[in-house]
A = this chain, B = another copy of it.
Amino acid sequence: MSITAPQGFRAAGVAAGIKSAPKQDLALVVNDGPLDVAAGVFTSNRVQAAPVVWSRQAVSDGRARAVILNSGGANACTGPEGFADTHATAEHVASLLEVSAQDVLVASTGLIGERLPMPRILAGAEAALAALGAGPEADESTARGIMTTDTVPKQASATTPSGARVGGIAKGAGMLAPQLATMLVVLTTDAVVCAADARAALREATRTTFDRVDSDACMSTNDTVLLLASGASGVSPSLEELTEAVREVSADLARQLVADAEGASHDVHVQVTSATTEEAALAVAREIARSNLVKAAIYGNDPNWGRIVAAAGCVPESVAPFDPADLAVSVNGVQVSRGGGVGESRDLVDMTPRECLIEVDLGAGSACGDIWTNDLTHDYVEENSAYSS
């Protein structure tokens, strides 16, 4: 169970005919309350899809009753007509549920620059409403409704010590998703929580999970992470407890996103330690995670510390103070570089596991930070060049 593991939620995924293939492509999640608390975080790309513009505004009051999501079309760069389509979708779901359109959030993923097939979206919403349910089947069908190039549905759940539940579904991100790797995530909880705490828990949880997945440095126009709270458990966990459960579900989903980067042959975990600040550690980790030369070397099972050190050196000193002569780099546990130079033999490194751990010690302080990415493979190039979009 995932998205309907918390009490008070029903969900469904249906095949509405938006995708060319007859697969689930529309999902609906309804919060039956008693609470209708909601929070969201969205892409920081300045080019924002219509559903992002809509949902950001609609969730700003901390309330929502439902989320409708579609794959097969991003509704981005579609102008005022595209925004009207999102608005009409929210209105339609609102009328079906007899709630205000402002309480219906919308998320889309797929091609940029094309209008959605609105008759199919609106008919699909009705079909999804009729199919709403709770339980493993409803959860998986809902998770499938938002898949694009994902090969498996992504679901997770957790329970706070006090007994409140958190569930979630996610799609995308795999660096190999051709459509800018949009990440859509819906999290649910039956905790009794106010809007401010829901927002705080979501922001803190995403900061150390989804924000640290950097598959190919390309930020989508549609990224959306939502948290809905029903209060149906009657349990009021502390903010710390709730945040930890939301973080646990988010971390699980984020790891699934990395693992489903089709064609990637390694999941790469870049851990930077002994930094002056967490921001400095993350800046170095991100620079390494974004280096095509590092990523291609890992694909070639080459623990190429020279490329790792050179990537670290590209971070300005004002951002991450460290002395290059103090750097140490370990790959899968073997310290192949120390003191800024040669360390253990790179022949000692076993690069065959799918998970590759790169540890960089800056020797400058006591803060740390990590980023997950994937290697750069032939299949990445193939998937992002051979299939036009």
Query: Residues of A with Cβ closer than 8 Å to B?
Result: 45-48, 74, 76-79, 82, 111-114, 178, 180, 216-221, 290-293, 296-297, 299-300, 302, 304-307, 309-315, 317, 324, 327, 337, 339-342, 376-378, 380-382, 384-389
Given contacts A76-B306, A309-B77, contact A293 B216 (CB under 8 A): yes
A320 → chain B closest CB, angstroms: 9
Choose one: B300, B315, B341, B380; the contact of A384 (CB below 8 Å).
B300
The answer on a CB contact under 8 Å between A113 and B297 is no
CA distance A111 to B306 in the complex (A): 8
A325 → chain B closest CB, angstroms: 8
The answer on a CB contact under 8 Å between B218 and A296 is no
- Lowest 6 CB-CB distances: which A-B pairs, in order? A112-B306, A300-B385, A47-B313, A296-B384, A46-B313, A45-B313
A337 proximity list for chain B (CB < 8 A): 77, 113
A296 → chain B closest CB, angstroms: 4
Q: What are some 13 contacts across the A-B interface (CB < 8 A)?
A: A47-B340, A77-B337, A111-B306, A113-B305, A113-B306, A180-B310, A217-B292, A218-B291, A221-B313, A296-B384, A300-B384, A302-B389, A306-B389
A305 proximity list for chain B (CB < 8 A): 113
A313 proximity list for chain B (CB < 8 A): 45-48, 219, 221
Given contacts A111-B306, A291-B218, contact A300 B386 (CB under 8 A): yes
A299 proximity list for chain B (CB < 8 A): 381, 385
The answer on a CB contact under 8 Å between B77 and A218 is no
A300 proximity list for chain B (CB < 8 A): 384-388
Closest chain B residue to A181, Cβ basis? B293
Given contacts A77-B337, A310-B180, contact A218 B293 (CB under 8 A): yes
CA distance A373 to B387 in the complex (A): 22
Give the most central of A82, A113, A377: most B CB within 10 Å. Answer: A113
Closest chain B residue to A182, Cβ basis? B310
The answer on a CB contact under 8 Å between B340 and A79 is yes
The answer on a CB contact under 8 Å between B314 and A45 is yes
The answer on a CB contact under 8 Å between A377 and B381 is yes
A104 → chain B closest CB, angstroms: 25
A202 → chain B closest CB, angstroms: 23
A313 → chain B closest CB, angstroms: 3
A218 proximity list for chain B (CB < 8 A): 291-293, 307, 310-311, 314
CA distance A299 to B376 in the complex (A): 15
A58 → chain B closest CB, angstroms: 20
The answer on a CB contact under 8 Å between A317 and B381 is no
Given contacts A340-B77, A377-B381, A385-B300, contact A310 B221 (CB under 8 A): yes
The answer on a CB contact under 8 Å between A79 and B384 is no
The answer on a CB contact under 8 Å between A46 and B342 is no
A305 → chain B closest CB, angstroms: 7
Choose one: B47, B79, B290; the contact of A339 (CB below 8 Å).
B79
Choose one: B113, B217, B220, B327; the contact of A342 (CB below 8 Å).
B113
Closest chain B residue to A305, Cβ basis? B113
The answer on a CB contact under 8 Å between B381 and A219 is no
